[in-house]
Structure 1
Amino acid sequence: MNGIQDRFNSVMKSFARKDKQPAAEEADDAQKKESYFKRVKGSDPRAATCRGKLQFKRSKLNQDINKHLLLRQGAENLLRAAENKKVRQAVSLELSFVSSNLQYLKEELSDLNSSVEIYQGDSGTPYIPMIPFGLKETKYIDFGDAFKDFILEHYSEDAQKYAGAIQDFTNTRQAMRTPERNQTGLALLFEYYNQLYFIERRFFPPDRSLGIHFEWYDSLTGLPSCQRTVAFEKASVLFNMAALYSQLAARQERGTQEGLDSAVDSYLRAAGIYRYILENFSNAPSRDLDADVLDVLANLLLAQAKECLLEKLLLPEEKQDLSAQLDIGQEAAQVAEVYHRLREQMAAPSVQESLPVSWQQLIHIKEVYYTAISHHHFAVGLLEHEGPLSRRMADTLQLSQRDREGQLLSVEHKVPHNKVQQDYLAKCHLREAIVLHEESLRLYRMARELRKRDMLRHVLRLALELSSEQYGLLEREDDFDEPVDAPVVTGSSKYQLSLQAPDFSQHQVTDLFRELGPVEVFSAHHHWSAPRTVHIHRLPGEGLGFSVKMEAPVVVVGVEPAGLAERVGLKEGDYIAGLNGEDLKWSSHTEVVAQIRRAGSEFQLHIITPMDKTEQTPEPPRPPPMPPLSDKTWGSLSSSGVSSGVSSRKPSPASSLASQNSKGSARRHSWNPFKKGSRSDHPELYISNVVLR
């Protein structure tokens, strides 16, 4: 019996060792990957674990929500169709149970999407939190087998020679998944995006798929989307660039002018990237890349940039005159109006379900708060002003205050003529400020998620105390003039905001697969015959019987009938890819001619023959007619995107092709089948071009 027990224990131990071995190997692989990515500049691999867990929770919650929505829809249909009273009661009970579960799941998802304080700065200065955006998550992709097969099949070259380049690109994409929250992390995203320009043209033909699928998770809902096209990969990387800019802006020290300037710059760059996605990509498969959502996100970034500009005006601690106070009041009213229009835009059914409820609640609080701030500064300016109003001050008061609907106010209520009228108008504005501050605190208490933000409560309560203190100084026992409703402060701004389009030329990259040849010729869009070797043996005094033109690679032209070139099989339009084993794909016309002369009377040429007429004379790709866009576009086409600004060809003044390729390469966009016209939706939400001063 003991022998059987010992044998059983030994078998179980062997199984345990077998089970531990793969786990140990996986741990070693993970450790190797982590040690590598620590060396990749701009990558933080430790962020993958936390964000991965969050993404898994978000995705599971969305699946549960979708399941409960289907259950609720079925219960509602059954309730409408049922006639039996007991059945209707049972269905009603089930429907209430499903609805309560659905509400709970939505609140839990909102909590996951409402983490705004984690990205805020560490300053001790009280502030209203900004709204940063989370990054999209993606899965690891192994490009090795697909790229090697394509190199062997399409380019007829030894794929093993490019194993290092394939691994470098794979590692860069893996590192890009977890960028650091600084300028180095942004540079990593830009470099990967620029590298996609070459990768797409080298390996992604328009007529078939390599079997590579890019899977990204929605940053707002957590639902996965999977596409074959590089356009989806590009748009997702651009989204993460803008999201990272928004996080950098939220972390700035907003108690200093330098920090506020940096925050405004980051917000404008992020908004410019979202506008770029909006104008260059369409029919997005994920909700966070939808046109309506991108429009809201861009306008939210612009509103926060305006808020930072207002905070710049509030920085000086010295006493300000009436003109300065009126300017601050109008700026605050302008910020409130921008948030009001943004809140109306977010209320659209196509957007509301995608954005966290806490975002909408915070925007509502900011709208009311900055309206109160505008009234407060109008009142403080009027109270502290001594002497008569200047003509400019009177005009500013007249134009910056308007009557409420259905109420006629005397001119004295807007433009006082003496100190008594000034104090009375200030009292009206202070009373309105107090009412609005109390309303902002009420909205804060109603927001379940925002109630955890102690800093927000502190700012709102402090503003209420300041207005109440000023109002208390005006109250007298013999004062029987009750304040009327203050005029509405009209928003106005002296700042103009100009969106910053992404500048890809600042992050130059080198084509990892440069040895394949110039990308304008040796791309996935072109086809050639298999390389062949032509043996040239000429007699003394005999000509070669052909000429060459173009640059990198040179093209055979002017083949003489019955000449040496024709006898050995050279044809017009053939590319000379090598000579005596030396690669000439990147050699200029002058260099190839010199090589042939040095070769003497006997040498071997490596020739590639184009398979279509369009490649007889290599030219830069011309834009074909734009195809009709549909929901299938993302899965069947790939966007050419935007050039990184780095020419893949060797520059040469003798080459017309090189000159065409180098003209404005950093500013001219190549054709994009996802290109759309400029949007005109919600023109009132677009803040005019802005120049910081």
Structure 2
Amino acid sequence: MSESVLPEKLKTNLFVSVRKKRDKLSDGVSSAGESTGSEKNSNEENYFTLRRRRWGSDPRLQTCRGKLQNRRSKLNQEINKELMLRAGAENLYNASNNKRLKETVALELQFVNSNLQLLKEQLTELNSSVEIYQGNSSKLAIPMIPLGLKETKEIDFREPFKDFIQEHYSEKGTDYDETITEFMELREAMRTPERDESGVALLFEYFNQLYFIDRRFFPPDRSLGIYFEWYDSLTGVPSCQRTVAFEKACVLFNLGALYTQLGARHDRVSAAGLDSAVNCFLRAAGMFRYLHDNFTNAPSKDLSPEILEFLIHLMMAQARECLFEKLILSLRDEVAALLEAGQEAAQVAEEYKEVHKLLVSAAVKDYVPSSWNGLVSIKEEHYRGRSHYRVAEALLTFEGELPKYILEMLQYLHLPPVTNTTIDVGIPTSREERTLLGLSHAREAVLIHEEALRLHRMCRDLKRKGVLADVLRLNYESATFLLKEFEEEESELLQVFDPPPIASATKVQVSLATPDFSQHRVADLFRQLGPVAVFSAKHQWSEPRTVALTRTPTQGFGFSVRGDAPVVIAGVDRGSLAEHAGVLEGDLVVAIGSEDVKWLPHDEVVTLIREAGNSLRLTLVTPTDKNYYRLPKGKSGKNISPHSTTSSSSGVSSTGSSSTCSGVSNGIRSHYGSMNTSTLSSATATTKEKKSTWNLFKRSSSRDKLNMSHRNISDCNVILR
């Protein structure tokens, strides 16, 4: 809407100024796939412009699906702009007492709402373009319903991350420029994944990396000012939160949506292609179920429990549909096989019936495109008609007497009658009864296929889907041909009867595929900060301080160490060099000399201390969290205090060396003489090999407690005398 709508004398009011500012901001946002924002100065490096393409990312304009997603991105931005204009106009309308101004703003609101409605209709039309996602070989198959990806805005993490590293970790933020850029490139690539397994791997890589990012940079008590904004998949409405949990949930939603697109894309004219499609739809359902069970208080509609429940049932129904198509590929022209196919088709129809019940509920019907409602209804009728057709084919085409095992199958084929006009022939005992029952099923198949064709004509979006019309017409003609062929032979049986309902049944049970995040392990990009179990955003410690210890050949340093990654000061002798230098029990050793030792195991740190000779320079930090060190359950004793004396007084050390912890040699000895260095190394390796699990949507977990076990005072200590 142009500004000329407002009177000239009102162009200086608040509403126009707000519009100008927002238009100026919107002009700086280009289409997805291009760099956005202007440079603060000519010397500042634009990371979004210089980003490199990662493996698994898509330039977004290579394929029809990419172009469709690009159009979705543009519509999302335009919808966001109109929503901001409407919010500003509504605020001005409520705040103003000027009658003429309120009339002008009300007129502007009408135009904004009209534009917003048109944009949403365009987005709905894009979401109805299911044929673009279908495989090229699935020409004679009913289209599957895929889900479009959620869109998000670019985020510049440079300043917030560097400031937090400087403030919290007491390190230079500029040293992590390359690492932050790599993470930003990963997120940018994640926005445009390829429609294949490499794209799935890319989304999993980013999702797993968020585990480390959440723990490194997002403390539970304050915000960094980073907002994650995502657009709703089907409405384009933006949602914004400051928590990484929201970012994780949106990435998981895109993983599920990508699986739906892969399932629709697979070749459905071969058994292998159908198996792959079933696998993708089950993985999509498992992803949505995981979201449903682990993510609550969703700010966006597509993450609400009702929508996720609908998507789960939809994907399960589509997986069942692919299994039925696989059955038809190898269907034998036998009575038993045809009857089983009829019950399998009834099972597909029953599942789509459940999907339709969820779709027409109040929480879902106004959210999904109307074409989805039409397609689900068509599929329900189509497969119900195919079930009657297969049963009719089995009964009408078989010659001779029905075998005993077929009669036993017929006992469980039909449900109890539901109307008075239902034919009272459940198990035919003669040729006439079998023909009568078969003709009733054939007539019902014809009527149901006619209803499916009518629903197709009634839906404006589906009328243009030629493949769908061809499939429906082909099945209608097959049912009509079967009915006419046997009605001519049995002209006396022209009386119309309703067939008994066919019981749904299946031989193949499907289950949700729970996402396995361990298949896509990633390395912590900010590993240099130290072990994430200790050096995380929720823990606090003092600024690093350097202490220099210089001893005589007959003097000890006066402290002991234990644990690894990082090594902890286990004890400090009273009156020793360490106590005078300010070494405290419980300090973490982060560097020895100029070498960073936060990740080094216990024995390597001891070796570095031994090699330092009589002059030792340590960089230490003191944890400031309350109850940072705790004893494990079942062990007695008090928490470590800075002045506890857990080790014996130092003795006179020799100049020799030893490879064990026992005894006094080179100023190093152990509290537990029976435990040697090799035992410590073995224990360390065992600890490293343990796999920890964690809730992906919670910041705190039991993993911290597991990784803190090396802080317990009962561990083997190495005393430096």
1:104 is displaced (CA, Å) by 6.9
| Alpha-carbon distance change, 517 to 44 in structure 1, aligned in 2, over 3 angstroms | same
Matches of 1:41 and 1:110 in 2, distance apart?
28
Which residues of structure 1 form unaligned runs of 5+?
Answer: 1-21, 72-95, 620-651, 676-693
1:435 to 440, 447, 459: 447
Check the 8 A contact 1:434/1:468 in 2, yes or no: yes
1:477 is displaced (CA, Å) by 7.4
Partner of residue 313, structure 1? 327
Superposed counterparts of 1:18-167, under 5 Å? 36-46=51-61, 51-58=69-76, 60=78, 107-123=121-137, 125-167=139-181
| Alpha-carbon distance change, 664 to 39 in structure 1, aligned in 2, over 3 angstroms | closer
1:667 is displaced (CA, Å) by 7.9
1:213 to 212, 222, 227: 227
| Alpha-carbon distance change, 103 to 604 in structure 1, aligned in 2, over 3 angstroms | closer
Matches of 1:53 and 1:29 in 2, distance apart?
31
Superposed counterparts of 1:227-266, under 5 Å? 227-266=241-280
| Alpha-carbon distance change, 284 to 660 in structure 1, aligned in 2, over 3 angstroms | farther
Matches of 1:98 and 1:590 in 2, distance apart?
69
Partner of residue 483, structure 1? 496
Do structure 1's residue 451 and structure 2's residue 478 form an aligned pair? no
Q: Cα deviation per residue 1:211-237 (whole Å; 9 max; x = unaligned)?
A: 111111000110111111000100000
1:69 is displaced (CA, Å) by 13
Matches of 2:410 and 2:692 in 1, distance apart?
52
1:498 to 504, 511, 516: 511
Q: Cα deviation per residue 1:476-532 (whole Å; 9 max; x = unaligned)?
A: 377222131111111111111121111111112111111111010011011111100
Check the 8 A contact 1:120/1:250 in 2, yes or no: yes
| Alpha-carbon distance change, 46 to 37 in structure 1, aligned in 2, over 3 angstroms | farther
1:158 is displaced (CA, Å) by 1.5
Matches of 1:345 and 1:396 in 2, distance apart?
32
| Alpha-carbon distance change, 519 to 429 in structure 1, aligned in 2, over 3 angstroms | same
Check the 8 A contact 2:54/2:186 in 1, yes or no: no
Partner of residue 590, structure 1? 603
1:160 is displaced (CA, Å) by 1.4
TM-score by length of 2: 0.77
Q: Cα deviation per residue 1:615-655 (whole Å; 9 max; x = unaligned)?
A: 34699xxxxxxxxxxxxxxxxxxxxxxxxxxxxxxxx9758
| Alpha-carbon distance change, 147 to 67 in structure 1, aligned in 2, over 3 angstroms | closer
Please identify which structure carries the higher helix content: 1
Q: Cα deviation per residue 1:553-589 (whole Å; 9 max; x = unaligned)?
A: 0100121111221111111100011111111111111
Whichever residue aligns with residue 177 of structure 2, its letter is A
SS at match of 1:552: coil
Matches of 1:664 and 1:673 in 2, distance apart?
17
Check the 8 A contact 2:262/2:280 in 1, yes or no: yes
TM-score by length of 1: 0.80
Whichever residue aligns with residue 454 of structure 2, its letter is R
Do structure 1's residue 275 and structure 2's residue 297 form an aligned pair? no
1:101 is displaced (CA, Å) by 9.5
Matches of 1:265 and 1:387 in 2, distance apart?
42
Superposed counterparts of 1:173-572, under 5 Å? 173-316=187-330, 319-407=332-420, 413-476=425-488, 479-481=491-493, 482-572=495-585
Check the 8 A contact 2:60/2:70 in 1, yes or no: no
| Alpha-carbon distance change, 191 to 97 in structure 1, aligned in 2, over 3 angstroms | closer
1:325 is displaced (CA, Å) by 0.5
Superposed counterparts of 1:595-634, under 5 Å? 595-616=608-629
Which residues of structure 2 form unaligned runs of 5+?
Answer: 1-36, 90-109, 633-678, 703-721
Whichever residue aligns with residue 248 of structure 2, its letter is K
| Alpha-carbon distance change, 549 to 328 in structure 1, aligned in 2, over 3 angstroms | same
Whichever residue aligns with residue 551 of structure 1, its letter is D
Matches of 1:29 and 1:415 in 2, distance apart?
83
Q: How many residues are aligned here?
A: 600
Matches of 1:596 and 1:101 in 2, distance apart?
71
Check the 8 A contact 1:65/1:106 in 2, yes or no: no
Check the 8 A contact 2:559/2:569 in 1, yes or no: yes
Whichever residue aligns with residue 53 of structure 2, its letter is K
Check the 8 A contact 2:590/2:621 in 1, yes or no: yes
| Alpha-carbon distance change, 511 to 501 in structure 1, aligned in 2, over 3 angstroms | same
Matches of 1:475 and 1:37 in 2, distance apart?
69
| Alpha-carbon distance change, 29 to 299 in structure 1, aligned in 2, over 3 angstroms | farther
1:105 is displaced (CA, Å) by 6.9
Check the 8 A contact 1:133/1:244 in 2, yes or no: yes
Q: Cα deviation per residue 1:273-305 (whole Å; 9 max; x = unaligned)?
A: 111111111001111111110110111000000
1:544 is displaced (CA, Å) by 1.8
Matches of 2:358 and 2:224 in 1, distance apart?
41
Whichever residue aligns with residue 249 of structure 1, its letter is G
Matches of 1:190 and 1:373 in 2, distance apart?
40
Matches of 2:681 and 2:530 in 1, distance apart?
19
Matches of 1:554 and 1:658 in 2, distance apart?
15
Check the 8 A contact 1:37/1:43 in 2, yes or no: no
SS at match of 1:349: coil
Matches of 1:350 and 1:67 in 2, distance apart?
27
Partner of residue 663, structure 1? 690
| Alpha-carbon distance change, 210 to 590 in structure 1, aligned in 2, over 3 angstroms | same
| Alpha-carbon distance change, 68 to 381 in structure 1, aligned in 2, over 3 angstroms | farther
1:342 is displaced (CA, Å) by 0.9
Matches of 1:50 and 1:26 in 2, distance apart?
35
| Alpha-carbon distance change, 323 to 62 in structure 1, aligned in 2, over 3 angstroms | farther
| Alpha-carbon distance change, 29 to 340 in structure 1, aligned in 2, over 3 angstroms | farther
Matches of 2:330 and 2:608 in 1, distance apart?
72
Between the aligned residues of both structures, percent identity stands at: 47
SS at match of 2:412: helix
- Structure number with the bigger relative contact order (C-alpha 8 A, sep ≥ 6) is 1
Matches of 2:253 and 2:701 in 1, distance apart?
16
| Alpha-carbon distance change, 661 to 344 in structure 1, aligned in 2, over 3 angstroms | farther
Matches of 1:217 and 1:670 in 2, distance apart?
20
Partner of residue 76, structure 1? none
Whichever residue aligns with residue 473 of structure 2, its letter is R
Q: Cα deviation per residue 1:79-123 (whole Å; 9 max; x = unaligned)?
A: xxxxxxxxxxxxxxxxx9999999877654432321101101111
Matches of 2:231 and 2:568 in 1, distance apart?
47
Matches of 2:432 and 2:457 in 1, distance apart?
38
Whichever residue aligns with residue 604 of structure 1, its letter is R
Check the 8 A contact 1:550/1:656 in 2, yes or no: no
